[in-house]
Amino acid sequence: MPAFVVAGATSWGVTLAGILAQGGAEVTILARTANEAVTVERDRGLARLPGFELPAAVQVRPIDAAPAADAIVVAAPAQSFRATAQHPALSREVPVLSAAKGIEHGSLLRMSEVLAACGWPADRISALSGPNLAREIVAGLPAASSVASPGEAEAEMWQRALSTSRFRVYRSADLVGVELGGALKNVVAIAAGVGAGLGLGANALASLTTRGLAEITRLAVAEGASATTLLGLAGVGDLMATCYSPLSRNHRFGERLAAGDTPEQAMDAAGGVVEGAATAPVALALAARHGLDMPIAEQVNAVISGQSSVADALEALLSRDLRAEA
């Protein structure tokens, strides 16, 4: 029986632990502290995932007590990802999967690059991304995702481990595209949440997400991704789910900004980490490196940083010079 550890007692980490256990694996969730481990073990889940109970095959321990494993999933938020990944209790001799969607502040590194910096060989690193709202998956609703790895064998291993009758996993060799699609869509989802909160209508939201996809694709391709990847699950698929679902924290954050909340108040109301808020300034820094324009990300960042109001940001987008679509 294969043994996996999931580093990060987050909503997505707990969800993935449940998926791995469904496939017959022994799974250990690694919490940040002993107190967190005791709480998750006692409750057999998280308050953010009401009605879901971890399978009996899943144990919860503090990360200091990590057991030996055949493979590792790192499911910490992007801006605390390195602190988890660099923990000495995690073996660098086994495959590792990033389940985070973000870009690291300061370094501008994707999570796979952070894993490499923490000691994993490049051919052992994979990433998972797609339209994967945890609340729907633990409720047993069907979903699909994409796992990317530079090595076919690694991708196949994760595909087999994570696929269930309700969670379908596809393989990809485009690690850059899968990761950037998952990270950058969160910024667009904040803008979509603002649009929904302002009642701008379906036409406006469709236009916004389409132009957001164009921004994401430009930057991802400049970083070495295939444009085709951004038309798949980790691109347009994840973008649609995150932009349109009220279960998306990024969407809820945007709605609260539209309602007049400060960014701090909106963050509290979102009920967890809002990856898009952290990713917006990093995405702009990455775009500047390539001389690229990302107007939606620019206005999202302006609102979050207090440089612009929601109304002014909307006006700035609508008053841009006319141009060709392609």
Instruction: Render the burial of 242-260: b for 16+ CB within 10 Å, e for the rest.
Output: bbbbeebbbbbbbbbbbee
Tally of residues, the chain: 326
Terminal-residue alpha carbon distance, the chain: 51
- Closest to 108 measured CA to CA, from 295, 275, 287: 287
Contact 25, 143 (CB under 8 A): no
101 assigned to active site: no
Angle 157-160-166 from CA coordinates, rounded to 5°: 150
DSSP conformational letter for 173: S
Which helix (H) or strand (E) element contains residue 29?
A: strand 26-31
Pairing outcome for strands 71-74 and 96-98: parallel
Q: Which of 124, 185, 249, 251 is catalytic?
A: 185
- Closest to 213 measured CA to CA, from 185, 241, 234, 186: 185
Residues serving a catalytic function are 185
